[in-house]
Amino acid sequence: MKKRAVVALGHRALGTTLPEQMAAVKQTSKILADLISEGYQIAITHSNAPQVGMIHAAMNEFGKNHADYTAAPMSVCSAMSQGYIGYDLQSGIREELLDRGIVKTVSTVLTQVIVDPYDEAFYTPTKVIGRYLSGEEATFEKQKGNYVVEEPGKGFRRVVSSPNPVKIVEIEAIRTLLDADQVVIAGGGGGIPVLEQKHHLKGAGAIIEKDLTAGKMAEDLNADLLIILTGDEKVQINLGQPNEELLGEISASEAKQYMEDGQFGTYTMLPKFKAAVSFIEKGEGRKAIITSFDKLGEAISGKTGTVIY
Ligand X SMILES: NC(=O)OP(=O)(O)O
> Which chain residues interact with ligand X by CB under 6 A?
10-11, 47-49, 189-190, 207, 209-210
CB 131, CB 115: distance < 8 Å: no
Neighbouring residues of 147: CB distance < 8 A, sequence distance ≥ 6: 125, 141, 158, 159, 160
Q: Which of 126, 146, 268, 278 binds ligand ADP (CB under 6 A)?
A: 268
> Considering all CA atoms of the chain, what is the largest pairwise distance in Å, rounded to the nearest integer?
59
Backbone angles phi, psi at 90, to 5 degrees: -55, -50
Regarding 126 and contact with ligand ADP (CB under 6 A), the answer is no
**Which is nearer to ligand X, 41 or 51 (by Cβ)?**
51
**Which is nearer to ligand X, 18 or 98 (by Cβ)?**
18
**Closest among 297, 293, 305 to 13, alpha carbons compared:** 293
Q: Cα separation of 286 and 90, whole Å?
A: 27
Q: Cα separation of 88 and 29, whole Å?
A: 10
CB of 73 to ligand X, least distance (A): 16
CB of 14 to ligand ADP, least distance (A): 8
CB of 121 to ligand ADP, least distance (A): 16
Regarding 265 and contact with ligand ADP (CB under 6 A), the answer is yes
Regarding 277 and contact with ligand ADP (CB under 6 A), the answer is no
- Binding pattern to ligand ADP, positions 190-229, x when CB under 6 A? ----------------------------------------
**Which is nearer to ligand ADP, 52 or 269 (by Cβ)?**
269
- Binding pattern to ligand ADP, positions 41-70, x when CB under 6 A? ------x-----------------------
Using DSSP bridges, classify how beta strands 306-308 and 287-292 pair: parallel, antiparallel or unpaired: antiparallel
Q: Which of 63, 231, 248, 283 binds ligand ADP (CB under 6 A)?
A: 231
**Which residue number is nearest to ligand ADP in terms of Cβ?**
10
Q: Cα separation of 63 and 51, whole Å?
A: 18
Q: With contacts defined by CB under 6 A, name the span among 57-65, 138-146, 197-205, 263-271 that binds ligand ADP.
A: 263-271
Q: Which does 230 bind (CB under 5 to 8 A by kind): ligand ADP, ligand X, none?
A: ligand ADP
Helical H segments across the chain, by residue range: 18-37, 49-65, 74-99, 135-143, 171-179, 210-220, 252-260, 270-281, 296-300
Regarding 236 and contact with ligand ADP (CB under 6 A), the answer is yes
14 vs 21, 121, 283, 289, 293, CA distance in Å?
5, 26, 30, 19, 10
Q: Which does 192 bind (CB under 5 to 8 A by kind): ligand ADP, ligand X, none?
A: none
Q: Which of 80, 235, 252, 308 binds ligand ADP (CB under 6 A)?
A: 235
CB 95, CB 29: distance < 8 Å: yes
**Which is nearer to ligand X, 159 or 277 (by Cβ)?**
159
Q: Which does 235 bind (CB under 5 to 8 A by kind): ligand X, ligand ADP, none?
A: ligand ADP
Query: DSSP characters for 61-122?
Result: HHHHH-TTS----HHHHHHHHHHHHHHHHHHHHHHHHHHTT----EEEE--EEE--TT-GGG
Q: Which does 146 bind (CB under 5 to 8 A by kind): ligand X, ligand ADP, none?
A: none
Q: Which residues of this protein are in contact with ligand ADP, per CB under 6 A?
A: 10-12, 47, 230-232, 235-236, 239, 263-265, 268-269
